[in-house]
Amino acid sequence: MTDVNALETEILAAIDAAADEAALEAVRVGALGKKGTISEKMKTLGGMSAEERQVMGPALNGLKSAVTDAIAARRQVLKRAAIEERLKTETVDVTLPVRASPAEAGRIHPISQVVDEITAIFSDMGFAIAEGPDIETDYYNFTALNFPEGHPAREMHDTFFFNEKEEGERMLLRTHTSPVQIRTMENQKPPIRIVIPGKTYRCDSDATHSPMFHQLEGLVIDKSANVANLKWVLEEFCKSFFEVDQLKMRFRPSFFPFTEPSLEVDIQCDRSGTEVKFGEGGDWMEILGCGMVHPNVLRLSGLDPDVYQGFAWGIGIDRIAMLKYGMPDLRAFFDADARWIAHYGFRPLDIPTLFGGLSS
């Protein structure tokens, strides 16, 4: 019994001295583990006489229960102490502003925003969105669009050509989204009403030009499509995009190989202040090119120009984004500067709608 009392005193002292839960676990294993001191004592009961077991059995079981209860009580004390210590070192200043969620901190690139705005406007007019490959053939990029042999746009200094294939054909990065017009007319019967936003490529780079830029083209093919329809579509688009109630437009004669007649379009603006304002003032700004689809283009697309006619237009998405949102340098669109996108970017959940506002 003296040994049992001494062992109990020793183990309880070790429990009280345990400074953390790891030290307490070491004490528990040393006392109650398979090879612990109490477990070893319990193993000796089998070799004792009946009279000795009657005395030592209850004593050892009582020791085991006392040690188990002491360990549980000490563990609770250490847990509370650990929590209090963490609270002292991990305090949070509740007066600090809450961190923005990813949806609040993230930003939509202005080009993506403008494409969404364009999609909202033309979808409301009944247009479908069409797409095509960035890598094109000479036929779809030039020949089918009535570009004659020797046209300057075919030269290497304007177009990114790939190396010639064995059969002599050269693929290229499309210089406009117009090849999608040809592909659509080949595969879809009129009436056709499509807009084509996409990337285009030309050998040019400065504050207002980029080797890769974004372009929007539109195409309408029908039996009765005419210039009056073209003017209405462009006027409604510009009023909706620049979010003005009234807007004067000026159409000037021009030349494009794939349209006849061809027109350049200027829109009314005011340049007197620090920013360009549309729908007011006495100034004009060239905004896009357009025209009636050339009969040769219709023939090469498999359509009879005596039955069908249509109109098309093209506009630089980067350019109208710069005009609408006051961005001075096109090159910043592609610099991946987090400060720039934080300033000019758009909240990802603000989806452009005609009834809610395109740029709200």
pLDDT digits (tens, 9 = 90+) for 241-291: 988 888 899 999 999 889 999 999 999 888 887 778 888 888 898 989 999
Residue 54 is predicted with a pLDDT of 77
Give the residue, 54 or 232, on which the prediction is more confident: 232
The model's confidence at residue 356, banded by pLDDT at 50, 70 and 90, is: low
Closest among 324, 344, 291, 334 to 107, alpha carbons compared: 344
pLDDT at 135: 94
Measured between alpha carbons, how far is 310 from 313 in angstroms, rounded to an integer?
11
User: Helix 21-32 vs helix 2-17: angle between axes, to the nearest 10 degrees?
Assistant: 160
26: pLDDT confidence band, cut at 50, 70 and 90?
confident
C-alpha to C-alpha distances, 344 to 7, 61, 70, 287, 352, nearest whole angstrom: 75, 76, 65, 22, 16
CB atoms within 10 A of CB 199: 14
pLDDT confidence tier of residue 305, bands split at 50, 70 and 90:
very high
Q: Please state, rounded to an integer, the average pLDDT across all residues of the chain.
A: 85
Beta strands per DSSP E along the chain: 128-129, 135-137, 171-173, 192-201, 212-222, 249-256, 259-270, 277-278, 283-293, 309-316
Render the burial of 326-344: b for 16+ CB within 10 Å, e for the rest: ebeebebbeeeeeebbeeb
Structure tokens at 136: 């094109």
Yes or no: say if 185 and 280 are a contact pair by the CB < 8 Å rule.
Answer: no
pLDDT at 165: 82
In DSSP terms, 249 is beta-bridged to: 267
C-alpha torsion angle, residues 206, 207, 211, 214 (rounded to 10): -160
DSSP 214-225: EEEEEEEEESS-
- Kind of pairing, strands 128-129 and 192-201? parallel
Lookup result for tokens 């009392």: 5
Is residue 110 a contact partner of residue 344, using CB atoms and an 8 Å limit?
Answer: yes
- Give the model's pLDDT for residue 291: 95
| DSSP character at residue 231 | H
Q: Is 270 helix (H, G, I), strand (E, B) or coil?
A: strand
On whether the CB atoms of residues 266 and 252 are closer than 8 A, the answer is yes
SS3 for 50-96, per residue? HHHHHHHHHHHHHHHHHHHHHHHHHHHHHHHHHHHHHHHHCCCCCCC
- Whether the pLDDT of residue 236 is over 90: the answer is yes
pLDDT tops 60 at residue 156: no
Q: What is the pLDDT confidence band of residue 42, given thresholds at 50, 70 and 90?
A: confident
Residues 352, 117 contacting (CB under 8 angstroms): yes
Q: Taking Cα atoms as reference points, which of 163, 121, 160 lies closest to residue 141?
A: 160
Can you give the pLDDT at residue 2?
Answer: 66
Alpha carbon distance, N-terminus to C-terminus of the chain: 86
Q: For position 186, what pLDDT does the model report?
A: 93
Q: What is the pLDDT of residue 102?
A: 74
Task: Provide mean pLDDT across the span 31-52.
Answer: 77
Could you tell me the CA-to-CA distances from 325 to 209, 246, 276, 318 in Å, in that order? 17, 19, 10, 11
pLDDT average, residue stretch 139-154: 82
CA angle 161, 166, 170 (to 5 degrees): 20
State pLDDT tens for residues 112-126. Answer: 999 999 989 999 999
Mean pLDDT of 87-105: 78
Q: Which pLDDT value is given to residue 1?
A: 57
- Per cent of the chain over pLDDT 70 is 95
